[in-house]
A and B are shown apart, each in its own frame.
Chain A
């Protein structure tokens, strides 16, 4: 049983081959980090999984069925930028997905459904640590808060696969560590498979259950166009990290330690979580 299966996938733009004969099985509930040098096709691979682009050859299956040709609610996405809608408040952004899903004509819900959704959205906002910012617009949030919002917005759809395209690449190191802990917890708690593109190896090994490196097998300039990227390294993290289960890797953390409000209640100054 696999969540995502790629069989002999090729992606070509005209004469240029970007991805060459790539096969990959991704287990359900795993957290795969895709790493590799710039321009090696990591983002292209993510777009293929998202359905934003189609493979030139080969098949991609999601839970055993062929992947739909366009993006849909079973695959959530968070980009480095432009993931949230500037014209909606934090609450509006988080409520948007379920509203679009339930009201197919007006795109808004009303009455009891709206109150219910409002409550769920506020809970989700609190869960990603944005409580108190419900009525702010994205432009009023810091970069880290915007990415938290993007995560909350995507998770409201309960996606089976969450695709992350260098989501924390533009954040400064302190903020990035905080959001890594949040990301780990969200992955741990929710029934989803995560595929994350990153150029930060440390991040890949901190978060992933498996690190997949992409690269071109030939890199001479005159050959570069005709040889695409495929998997050069595939590393399972040890000790194994298992979503939803206490393992060596996550036993150190007390429940809610990444939530500033809980920390303020339980102790004066929370201990820094140890590096993994």
Chain B
């Protein structure tokens, strides 16, 4: 039988799903114990016990100086920035993307400009943002928006343009105005794609967030990682990275579930 036709039993499929995670953990444990056996003060791959101590210190012990639980305050300030950045980007993508997609005027005016702007490397703009907007929240949110919004706008405009022309003409024969076509025909069919595009942009958004926090912040997940880096505190960095990954993965999963719940038809269409 060809490999492409291989049928996996549910047990095998589940086992395979977890295997890479297990391999990763085992490889870490092995490497860690080998290094620690050679040098008990090794900081590069700390033992699970010291990682657990670090998690306890960061998440469940109030900071001696400020009295905050650092992991949670860091998470809170990072998520605020991320939500603001992604929220603004999504709103921009929705309005500008739909306009480019259905209105020839806006298509001629903005499509080439947005394509051009989406090629600007956002991290290269970071100094400009910090200088012009200061070191506060604005510049960090602006970096996320500049990095994420142009691509989401292009993606949504493409989605709208890809709607069959027949549908638009049909709506016209049902007496719809441009506004009603946007509202009742285009928008509902663009939203599932917008959520999909949002999922894909979670990774880049975290990248820009951490880059901005690494350079200038007083709290945040990226700030903490780059702060403790100076002390080679791998026991803190590893759980932080795992926590960021977990946050991004649950957002990804959550958005997809939200799409299925809100737009049941989009799943039917995909399955055709």
Give chain A's interface residues, CB within 8 Å of chain B: 50, 52, 70-73, 75-77, 79, 81-88, 96-97, 100-101, 104-108, 137, 139-140, 153-154, 157, 159
Contact = CB atoms under 8 A, between A and B. Distances in A.
A52 B167 CA distance: 12
A140 B169 contact: no
A267 to B, nearest CB: 36
A87 B188 contact: yes
Given A72-B173, A77-B173, A101-B175, 9 more contacts: A77-B170, A82-B170, A85-B171, A88-B265, A96-B174, A100-B171, A137-B265, A157-B173, A159-B173
B173 A137 contact: no
Interface in B145-177: 164, 166-167, 169-177
Contacts, number: 81
Contact of A79 (B170, B179, B183, B189): B170
A153 B169 contact: no
A77 B172 CA distance: 10
A50 B265 contact: no
A139 B173 contact: no
Contact of A73 (B164, B175, B185): B175
B104 interface: no
Contacts of B171: 85, 100
Given A81-B166, A83-B166, A137-B264, A153 B174 contact: yes
A76 B176 CA distance: 13
Contacts of A77: 169-170, 173
Nearest to A84: B170
Nearest to A108: B184
A190 B164 CA distance: 29
B268 A137 contact: yes
Nearest to B182: A107
A71 B171 CA distance: 9
Contacts of A104: 177, 180
Contacts of B266: 87
B126 to A, nearest CB: 40
Contact of B175 (A82, A97, A105): A97
B2 interface: no
Contact of B174 (A70, A73, A87, A140): A73
Given A100-B175, A101-B174, A107-B180, A71 B169 contact: yes
15 contacts: A71-B169, A73-B173, A73-B175, A79-B166, A82-B166, A83-B170, A85-B167, A86-B189, A96-B184, A100-B176, A105-B179, A137-B265, A139-B272, A154-B173, A157-B175
A139 B268 contact: yes
B263 interface: yes
A272 B9 CA distance: 49
Contacts of B176: 100, 107
Interface residues of B, number: 27
Nearest to B164: A82
Contacts of A83: 166, 170
A137 to B, nearest CB: 5
Contacts of B263: 87
A70 B268 CA distance: 32
Contacts of A71: 169, 172-173
| Pairs of residues from A and B, 10 with the lowest C-beta to C-beta distance, nearest first | A97-B174, A139-B268, A82-B164, A71-B172, A82-B166, A73-B175, A107-B184, A101-B175, A137-B265, A87-B188
Given A82-B166, A86-B189, A137-B264, A100 B173 contact: no
Contacts of B164: 81-82
A86 B173 contact: no
Contact of A157 (B174, B177, B184, B185): B174
A87 B264 CA distance: 9
B269 interface: yes
B170 A100 contact: no
Contact of A139 (B167, B172, B269): B269
Contacts of B264: 137
A82 B167 contact: yes
Contacts of B185: 85
Contacts of B166: 79, 81-83
Pick from A71, A75, A79, A108 the residue with the most CB of B within 10 Å: A71
Nearest to A101: B175
A104 B188 CA distance: 17
A100 B180 contact: yes
Nearest to A165: B166
Nearest to A162: B173
Contacts of A100: 171, 174-176, 180, 184
Contacts of A76: 173
B188 A70 contact: no
A73 B174 CA distance: 5
A32 B174 CA distance: 22
Contacts of B183: 106-107
